[in-house]
Amino acid sequence: MPVLKSEVVPVDSEPHVVAVRQSVRAWSQELGFSLVDQTKIVTAASELARNTIKHGGGGTLKMELLNEGIRKGLRLTFEDHGPGIPDIALAMKDGYTSGGGLGLGLGGSKRLVNDFQLESKVGQGTKVTITRWK
Ligand SMILES: Nc1ncnc2c1ncn2[C@@H]1O[C@H](COP(=O)(O)OP(=O)(O)OP(=O)(O)O)[C@@H](O)[C@H]1O
Ligand SMILES: [Mg+2]
């Protein structure tokens, strides 16, 4: 799939979450997303960035502007080399948290985008890829 533009940014601390929100907002505006769709992907990105920091011990976000046929989209890939997720189905359940949270981040993010993929290996890390099409 043709990638028109791509950038990798660090996701290691709270200020990075603010930067991620700003970059995702800017890229979705550039794509011509509606205000509602901008907010959806910014919210999803925010949750995943926080998970990368809080549960994954920090990592990166790859932002990609996609062009498939006549449609355009924004693909975001969050990757860390933290402890990984032992039970992905359980982690995806609304209300499940391994500690302290509301347990709504992963399920909520999935509902805000068109495509959601989670890969994780215990002891190796976690990769979450989301895509929102215009
Ligand atoms: N990058 C990650 N690395 C390791 N575990 C993760 C990662 N992301 C999510 N998890 C696991 O999945 C669980 C569910 O994540 P989710 O974001 O839904 O809830 P939460 O972060 O616990 O709470 P919140 O509602 O505040 O986001 C987490 O509690 C954690 O155990
Ligand atoms: Mg979370």
pLDDT of residue 99: 85
Atom of ligand 1 nearest to the CA of 52: 1
pTM: 0.97
The full set of domain ranges for the chain reads 3-133
Taking 90 as the threshold, does the pLDDT of residue 39 lie above it? yes
Tokens representing residue 132 in the block = 């929102």
pLDDT for 83 beyond 90: yes
Q: To the nearest whole percent, how much of the chain has pLDDT over 70?
A: 100
- Please tell me the residue having the least CA distance from ligand 1 atom 6: 55
> Hey, whose CA ends up nearest to atom 10 of ligand 1?
55
Mean pLDDT of 75-91: 98
Overall average pLDDT of the 88-109 stretch: 95
Mean pLDDT of 66-70: 93
Mean pLDDT across the stretch 86-93?
Answer: 97
> Phi and psi for 71 in degrees, rounded to 5?
-95, 150
123 C-alpha vs ligand 1 centroid, how far in Å? 16
Answer yes or no: is the C-beta of 91 below 6 A from any ligand 1 atom. Answer: yes
Q: Compute the half-sphere exposure of residue 33: CA atoms within 13 Å on the CB side of its CA.
A: 25
Mean pLDDT for the chain?
97
Q: Whose CA is nearest to atom 17 of ligand 1?
A: 105
Provide the pLDDT for residue 6.
98
Q: Taking 90 as the threshold, does the pLDDT of residue 24 lie above it?
A: yes
Ligand nearest to the CA of 103: 1
Q: What is the pLDDT of residue 109?
A: 98
Phi then psi dihedrals of residue 128, to 5 deg: -120, 125
Q: Provide the CATH number for the domain formed by 3-133 in this structure.
A: 3.30.565.10
Q: How far, rounded to the nearest angstrom, does the alpha carbon of residue 86 sit from its chain's CA centroid?
A: 19
CB proximity list for 5: less than 8 A, separation 6 or greater: 27, 64, 65
